[in-house]
Copies of this chain bind each other. A is one copy, B any other.
Amino acid sequence: MSKLNKTRFAILGMLTIAPMSGYEMRQIMLKSTGNFWSESDGQLYPALARLAAQGLVSCTSDKSSAREKKIYKITVMGMDELTNWLKQEAETNIVRSESLLKLFFGANVAPEISLEHIQVMHDETRAMLSRLAETSRHLDSEFKHSPHLEYWQMTIDYGLRLGVAKLLWCEDAINKLQKNKRGKKS
């Protein structure tokens, strides 16, 4: 029960924003929840089909555009399922950082190696921060009157705060390692 698939809930949640296709959903997820939650094709499409079979979402085929597109919409039952899940305590909080694992074993190699790893983290974090800032601005203008906005901005703010902290840590770590390098030379 505990490790049961959460994909269904991510989907149901996305459909409270608007009815959409699986493809659209994936794009939106990447840009919105991408920093803390993502789903792959192989999870998404089968899950959508299952939800439809269970009556938690309805599906209509849209043939107006180029290729056939399946537009999914959340049902009353689906809404029930979602809010019920939202009320439960969160279970899944996974972090797995190969960068930190490598740093942890850094004593086995030259400090330059660890420096390089941290530099990469630094660059990636900076890139993430600017993406987040852009998303934030975009949401503010695009969803001015949506009840979702407040919550979305909170998750963005989370990314911003953690990102800034990460950046500062990187700079600190780089300093320490460089000082150490000089220390060993002299």
Contacts and interface: CB of A to CB of B under 8 A. Distances in A.
A55 interface: no
A129 to B, nearest CB: 13
Interface stretch (A19-27, A40-48, A101-109, A130-138): A101-109
Nearest to A172: B157
A94 interface: yes
Given A92-B98, A93-B98, A94-B95, A107 B168 contact: no
A166 B37 CA distance: 17
Interface string A110-154: 000110010010000000000000000000000000111011101
Interface residues of A, number: 62
A166 B155 contact: no
A103 B154 contact: yes
B107 A148 contact: yes
Nearest to A12: B105
B16 A108 contact: yes
Given A120-B90, A151-B107, A169-B157, A96 B36 contact: yes
Closest 8 interchain pairs by CB? A165-B165, A13-B105, A90-B98, A106-B151, A92-B98, A94-B96, A90-B99, A107-B147
Given A109-B87, A157-B172, A165-B164, A151 B103 contact: yes
A86 B99 contact: no
A89 interface: yes
A83 to B, nearest CB: 6
B105 A86 contact: yes
Contacts of A94: 94-97
Nearest to A116: B89
